[in-house]
Amino acid sequence: MRYFVTFFWTIILGQVVGYLGSSLMSATYHFQTCLILSIIVAIVIILFSEVGTAGQTDSQAKE
């Protein structure tokens, strides 16, 4: 479930950042490019969380 939530919010926030960034730079907004970058960022976040809690049990990771 936490992976789904991570993907969901990363995609939403990635689209917002992509839209605002393209507006600020007067560039065109590309949904697919923002989606791909959001998925890559979500994967990196999940990998960092797994590496950071690799040696811990579930009760230690929740604290």
Q: What is the DSSP string of 13-25?
A: HHHHHHHHHHHHT
- Cα radius of gyration rounded to whole Å, the chain: 15
Place of tokens 């490019």: 33
pLDDT at 62: 59
Q: Is the pLDDT of residue 61 over 80?
A: no
Q: Which residues contact 53 (CB under 8 A, 6 or more apart)?
A: 60, 61
pLDDT one-digit tens code per residue, 4-59: 998 999 999 999 999 999 999 999 999 999 999 999 999 999 999 888 777 666 66
Distances from the Cα of 40 to the Cα of 12, 32, 36, 52, 55, angstroms:
13, 12, 6, 18, 25
- Domain positions in the chain are 1-36
pLDDT at 60: 60
pLDDT at 49: 86
